[in-house]
Structure 1
């Protein structure tokens, strides 16, 4: 599994093993089996045991696991579970301790995807991003809003306003790029029956530089995948740009009354190379 290429990652609760196969067949690039928020404390040990048995029968590097936080009583046993060959990477919630991330990476020898979902994590973002073993950053919007005391999410029926999160999301993108990580994965869109809203949310994330999203329901996979694919208008534009660039040997040229130079040509090439299943 190429962690850097994943764009749609679907959460499935670890205490619902009957959903594992459905999630695997949902069309998502990968699934994250969740031992943390999705599992009540009283069920965590049983969920881990059931998951261990299931993992023993799975192909190598076939799923991701979200463990419980490094400061919880379940962390050590979750770490042992993640040594399974079937685990491709470890999703770390409430990542605020670079030292703990280093120890986890050494203990499991698996790529880490830390959730940035608190003021402290944001303050230590550069340190977290440079931990050996960290592959990509994930944005935990709901926990971040709670930690910062933000007026979010709105009551049911009121429109979502993602504007207050723009500076935070941009920090994840810039930090990832500066430290050579793949583009970060955007936070979940909780309204799982709102395809239009989900696609608008995905488009906004891509404008900022995100290259994927976390999903909470199988029915979100298709609209999210569609939203990340180049539009017909983008494909036509990219074709014109590349044709003009080739005609003028890469020199600055005008296309539809807009200046086109090397960065624009590179952008057009990326659009045409962007393939979705």
Structure 2
């Protein structure tokens, strides 16, 4: 599993083993088996035992696991579980301590995907991103909103306004780039069956520089993939740009009244490469 290439990551509760294989067949790039928030405390030990047996039957590097937080009663058993060859990487909740992340990397020797979901984590973002073993950053929007006392999420009857998270999202994108990490993975979209809403939400994240999305239901896989596919308007625009580049041999040129230089041409090439990847 190439952690940096993952774009759709589907959560499945660790206490629902009957869903594991269905999640693997959902079309998502990877599944995250969740031992943390999705599993009640009284069921965590049984979930860990069942998951251990299931992992023994899986191919190497086939799943991700979200462990319980450092300092929780289940942390040690979770880290032991992550030594399984089937585990490709570890999703770390409430990651705000770079030292603890470094220790986890040494214990498990697996790529880490820390959830950035508190004010403290954002103040330490550079140190977290610099930890050896950290591969990508995940945005924990709901926990951040709770930590900051934000008026979010709104009631179902009110529009979803993501503008309050612009600063946080931009920090994740910038920091990932500076530290040579893969582009960050955006927070969940809580409406399970709002396909258009999810596609629009994911495209907003892509405009900011995210390239992956956390999903919580198999019904969200196709709308997320649609967001990742260049639109017909984007493809048409890119073709015009590249036609002009070919005519002018890479020189700065005006297309439809807009200046086109090297960064714009590179963007057009990226769109066409992405469109080609989805058409194969």
The whole-number CA distance in structure 2 between the counterparts of 1:108 and 1:48 is 17
The whole-number CA distance in structure 1 between the counterparts of 2:54 and 2:256 is 56
Q: Tell me how far 1:257 sits from its aligned partner.
A: 1.3
Asked if the contact 1:136/1:182 (under 8 Å) is kept, the reply is yes
Name the TM-score, length of structure 1 as normaliser: 0.99
Alignment length, in residue pairs? 277
The whole-number CA distance in structure 2 between the counterparts of 1:158 and 1:247 is 50
Asked if the contact 1:225/1:276 (under 8 Å) is kept, the reply is no
Query: Does the residue aligned with 1:132 lie in a helix, a strand or coil?
Result: coil
Match of 1:165 in 2: 165
Consecutive unaligned residues of structure 1, counting only runs of 5 or more, are none
Hey, which bits of structure 1, 4+ residues long, moved more than 6 A?
Answer: none
Q: Tell me how far 1:255 sits from its aligned partner.
A: 1.2
Asked if the contact 1:8/1:225 (under 8 Å) is kept, the reply is yes
Match of 1:191 in 2: 191
The whole-number CA distance in structure 2 between the counterparts of 1:180 and 1:220 is 29
Q: Tell me how far 1:46 sits from its aligned partner.
A: 0.4
Match of 1:124 in 2: 124
**Which whole-Å deviations, capped at 9, do the CAs of 1:51-82 have from their partners, x for residues lacking one?**
00000000000000000001211111100100
Asked if the contact 1:63/1:89 (under 8 Å) is kept, the reply is yes
Q: Tell me how far 1:115 sits from its aligned partner.
A: 0.1
Q: Does residue 1:255 correspond to 2:255, yes or no?
A: yes
The whole-number CA distance in structure 2 between the counterparts of 1:104 and 1:227 is 34
Match of 1:34 in 2: 34
Q: What pairs up with 1:181-260 in 2 under 5 angstroms?
A: 181-260=181-260
The whole-number CA distance in structure 2 between the counterparts of 1:273 and 1:109 is 33
**Which whole-Å deviations, capped at 9, do the CAs of 1:204-246 have from their partners, x for residues lacking one?**
1011110010000000000110011101111111111112112
Name the TM-score, length of structure 2 as normaliser: 0.98
Match of 1:276 in 2: 278
Q: CA RMSD in A?
A: 0.8
Match of 1:176 in 2: 176
The whole-number CA distance in structure 2 between the counterparts of 1:41 and 1:169 is 31
